[in-house]
Structure 1
Amino acid sequence: MKSEDLFYETQLPVVKECLLALRSMILAQDKEITTAWKYGMPFFCYKGKMFCYLWFHKKYKLPYIGFVEGKHLDHPQLIQEKRARMKIFLCDPEKELAVEDIRMLVKDALAVYKKKRIMEKE
């Protein structure tokens, strides 16, 4: 079993369902988004560039989507904390996912990459 598959399979059922739903929403936004296993966590890349990832917040004990270029995104539920570049969007697996917010954030993050602000930089 691949590390990514093992990551999802070892979660509690409600967390696994949440993470797999997030994975599905992210991948559905653009055919150029691919999965990767980086830094011991599931990453999503856009045209080979790190785009976002799924992980758990230590303090809040909730899964989240981390947006690599989150500094370019503006949404009231995004959290930057001490990160210079990334912002995160917490997801409570016990509650209904904010599907429209998540889709909008992924779409907005893609727009940053598509405008080549990121692609040309690296």
Structure 2
Amino acid sequence: MKPIDHFYADQQEPLKSCLWALKGIIENYHLQLEARWYYRLPCFMYQNQIFCYLWVDRKTQFPYIAIGKGVQLDHPDLIQGNRTFTKLLFIDPNKDIPIEKIHNIFDRAMTLYDTD
């Protein structure tokens, strides 16, 4: 099994199902997004750049999508904290995944890559 697959398989429920679903949502968003194990993270690359990655917050145990170039985005649900590159979108694994919100943020993020 590849390291990227271990990341998903090694999680406990409901986190495991939520992460697998997020992976599918991200991969289905754009045909050119490529899932890759990069910097020991499950990343999704676009034009050989990190578009986003998935991770789990240690304190809350909530998964989040870290949006590459996210610091350039203004969206009320994105959290920057002390990050200089990404902003985070936290997902509650016990609720329905906000697909429309994810797509809206991704639409905004995609414009940052298409202008490079």
TM-score band (shorter)?
over 0.9
Give how far 1:95 is off. 1.1
User: Following the alignment from structure 1 to structure 2, what is the Cα–Cα distance between the partners of residues 13 and 60?
Assistant: 14
What TM-score does the superposition give when structure 1 sets the normalisation length?
0.89
What TM-score does the superposition give when structure 2 sets the normalisation length?
0.93
Moved over 6 A (4+): none
Within 5 A, what are the aligned runs for 1:11-90? Answer: 11-90=11-90
User: Following the alignment from structure 1 to structure 2, what is the Cα–Cα distance between the partners of residues 60 and 81?
Assistant: 15
- Structure 2 SS opposite 1:61: coil
Counterpart amino acid of 2:114? K
User: Following the alignment from structure 1 to structure 2, what is the Cα–Cα distance between the partners of residues 5 and 53?
Assistant: 14
Q: Is the 8 A contact 1:29 1:107 kept in 2?
A: no
Give how far 1:23 is off. 1.0
- Structure 2 SS opposite 1:79: coil
Q: Which residue of 2 aligns with 1:119?
A: none
Counterpart amino acid of 1:51? F
Counterpart amino acid of 1:84? T
- Structure 2 SS opposite 1:78: coil
Give how far 1:9 is off. 0.7
Structure 1, unmatched stretches of 5+, are 117-122
Structure 2, unmatched stretches of 5+, are none
Percent sequence identity over aligned pairs: 37
RMSD of the alignment, in Å?
A: 1.1
Give how far 1:47 is off. 1.5
Give how far 1:61 is off. 2.3
Counterpart amino acid of 1:19? L
Aligned length: 116
User: Following the alignment from structure 1 to structure 2, what is the Cα–Cα distance between the partners of residues 92 and 30?
Assistant: 23
Q: What's the CA shift string for 1:68-104, capped at 9, x where partnerless?
A: 1001211111100001221000001011111110111
Q: Is the 8 A contact 1:14 1:94 kept in 2?
A: yes
